[in-house]
Structures are given as C-alpha cells and as structure tokens.
Amino acid sequence: MTSRLLLLVHRIPFPPNKGDKIRSYHLLRHLAARHEVYLGAFVDDPQDWQYEAELARLCKQVELVGLDPGKRKLASLSGLLTGDALSVPYYCNAELQRWVDDTIASQGIARAVVFSSTMAQFVSGPGHAGLRRIADLCDVDSDKWRQYAQGKRPPMSWVYAREARTLLAYERKVAREFDATLFVTQAEADLFKRLAPESAAKVGHFDNGVDTRYFDPDQSFESPYGIEQSEAGEGEAGDRQGPVAVFTGAMDYWANVDAVKWFADEVWPKVRTAVPSARFFIVGSKPGPEVKALETVPGIHVTGRVPDVRPYLAHADLAVAPLRIARGTQNKVLEALAMARPVVCTPAAAAGLSVPASEAFRIEEDPAAYAQAVLALFGHGPHREGREQVIRGYSWDANLAAVDALLATA
C-alpha cells in the first residue's frame, strides 16, 4: 500500500529553473512515484502561481501560501529580539502551520520530508515527535552567511556574522531532533559533521542530478545569438558575430551577481583584447541594477528571464561558472556539461563535483589564467566526455535512493 508523506518546501518546486527548485522538483517527482505526497510550499514570485496545476498532477494535495518578500523581511527582524536566526521568522506562517497540523492529523501521516532548515519549524517539537522526519538542508547555509560576512563592511558584516551563528544553532537543533539530515555533497555533509558532532551519525547526503533526456545536445535548437560566425562574413547581414561565453543562473542571487561582476571586471577585458568580437551572455531571471549595468561593457548582454536555457547552452562556445562563493553542487555546471559544452569554473564552483579537470573542463582562479582558458575553448566544439560523465554520475533516481532507504527505515 502506498504510504502518505508530507513534503514541505520553502519555494514552490516548479518550474525547475534555478538551483534549489531543480533539486526540490526532482525530489518531489521521485517521492510522488512512491508515495501519496501532501505538498506545502511558499510562492514568492507571482508568476509561479500558474504552476499549481502542474504540482497537483504529481501530488495528492497541494497547499501553496503566498509570501511577500518585502513584508517577510520586516517580520524576520523579530529574530533580533528573540535571539533567533532571521531566516526562521521569515518563513514562520500560521496559515501553513494550521494546514500541516490538520493534514497530519486527518490523513494519518507518519513521514515528513522538509526542504531547507527553515521549513523544519512546521514539524518541530514534541507534538510531531511521532513522525519520521528527514531534512534536506542542501547546503550548510550558516557557513554561507559566514562567508558573506567576510566580504561585507559594517553594519552588514555584523548582521551576516550574527546570522551565521544563530542559524548554525538552529541547524544543529534540527539535526538533533530529526531522524536524518541530508546535504547536497559529501563535502557539505562532512563540514556539518564537524560543526555538529553530536548529530554526525545521522548526517548524510545525496548528489544532485541532471535530466539528460531534457538537456540533450542532439536536439535541434534555434540559436538565440543571431547569425553565427560561420554563417555570415564581414559586411553581410547582421555583421560578423564572434564566439560566445554564457553564464546561466538566477540573477537575484548574490553569489551569481558577484560571479558575473568579477568576470566582467577581471576576466572579460582580457578576453576582448584578444578577440574583440567575443560576446558574453548573462542568462537568468531578475537581474538587478548591478547586473543590468554590465550591458554598458562592450560585448556583454543581459537577457533576463528566458523560457528555455537550452538554446543558450547549445549554441554557446562554452559556459563559465566564475563563482567565488559557492556551496554544494552547481546545477548550472552539470547542465552545461550535459549539453556537451566546454566549461571554465573557479575552484569554488567545481568543488562539489566529481568531474576531473580536463582540456574542456578547466578549473582556474587567477583572472589571467581564466581568460586564457576561455580563449582556448572558443571554437573547441562539443565536450562529449563531459556529457558522459554526467550520465554516469548524476542520475536523479540513483542518487535519491538514499532518501528511499531513510524513509523505509522504521
């Protein structure tokens, strides 16, 4: 008999178009094939309400609650008075709590999976101690805030350092209370074991995956870059178009903003000096003023949200992942590799991947070396070995078997 399971996610797990939503969507899809899933999630982007029907096809029941980021930021300040991490009251919600409590009681639910530490509050405490509870924290978010603090000036450095301390205390509380706590890589799990040694025996991980049937370079995609260099010569329609480097990712995420700014400031001038026709496309939703301003740099283009990133990957010479602050597995890198694109990463972006450096998968940190790697991969052609490595090592079903085993344990 199919069991009933509660899944709580901090952001609606559809469409799978950014890192956390990719992981939560595939977790949901995997669980829905094995359980009757009761899904509770927040919607922080009004455009995402249209996807409720997509989730209803997977789930027994769906409860979506609107979340206004501006109002929730104000509400999170209550943490300064209570000593809590600001992230926790940001997601505190009486409406969702009532639905969780009523659903557990009325449906006889015995298993719960929460996605991100902030969703643990809805099934925390002695009232829910009878549940088998699994937390997928993905990254050690508290350590991410610690890194942010190091790159900021007062007063924000103080705010971020405080969040690092208080969120770690909360993450440790969740790990003590829950039956298992999971992360996105072995390295993240090992870091948390050092930070929370009292719960080390209950800490594990499952790697992200890639839908390689969706990210398939052998499909036909129309180029979003205009006339290709091989199709038009100097003076023909559209003028001669140069090689393309592409970055994909949500552009309201601070680490991505920092990455493209560093690349634009430190790497891109060296590339353009060597190849004046080269182009750099920043592809991702919600670019803020800092990112949009990069369009004033010769050769840089900012697309904003696009319906499908695959054409941008399929027709780029290479993908870049110049992140200086990165946690866990970078989906943007796996997707580029699945599309058989050469990739140039920083060590931070490559750290969570079991993909060795090679001629077409370069790992560089120095700006000059990074630029040389980009130049070397212009015109390289498909990186088929990278796609094969993704197919072998990043299957969602194989990696999610770890969750199945934990849920099956009495």
**pLDDT at residue number 233:** 37
Inter-residue contact 350 to 320 (CB < 8 Å): no
- The separation between the first and the last C-alpha atoms of the chain, rounded to the nearest angstrom, is 16
Q: What is the identity of the amino acid at 398?
A: A
**pLDDT at residue number 410:** 52
Mean pLDDT for the stretch of residues 372-393: 96
Residue 213 has pLDDT above 70, yes or no: yes
Q: Is the peptide bond before 347 cis (omega within 30 degrees of 0)?
A: no
Residue 1 has pLDDT above 80, yes or no: no
What 3-state class would DSSP assign to 52? Answer: helix
Average the pLDDT over each of 56-70, 216-230, 347-361 and give the range with the smallest value.
Answer: 216-230
pLDDT digits (tens, 9 = 90+) for 30-49: 999 999 999 999 999 999 99
How far is 139 from 189, CA to CA, in rounded Å?
A: 8
Residue 100 has pLDDT above 90, yes or no: yes
Q: What are the tokens at 149?
A: 């603090």
Q: Angle CA(295)–CA(298)–CA(302) in degrees, nearest 5?
A: 25
How far is 123 from 176, CA to CA, in rounded Å?
A: 14
Band of pLDDT at residue 25, cut at 50, 70 and 90: very high
Inter-residue contact 193 to 203 (CB < 8 Å): yes
Mean of pLDDT over the chain: 93
Inter-residue contact 386 to 355 (CB < 8 Å): yes
How far is 334 from 328, CA to CA, in rounded Å?
A: 12
Q: Which residues contact 173 (CB under 8 A, 6 or more apart)?
A: none
H helical segments located in 209-306: 254-262, 268-274, 289-292
Mean pLDDT for the stretch of residues 234-244: 57
pTM over 0.85? The answer is no
pLDDT digits (tens, 9 = 90+) for 69-87: 999 999 999 999 999 999 9
How far is 318 from 95, CA to CA, in rounded Å?
A: 46
Inter-residue contact 327 to 352 (CB < 8 Å): yes
Residue 364 has pLDDT above 50, yes or no: yes
**pLDDT at residue number 352:** 83
Q: Is the peptide bond before 15 cis (omega within 30 degrees of 0)?
A: yes
How far is 79 from 91, CA to CA, in rounded Å?
A: 12
Domain architecture of the chain: domains with CATH: 3-208+395-408 (3.40.50.2000), 244-393 (3.40.50.2000)
How far is 136 from 205, CA to CA, in rounded Å?
A: 8
Band of pLDDT at residue 18, cut at 50, 70 and 90: confident
**pLDDT at residue number 241:** 82
**pLDDT at residue number 19:** 83
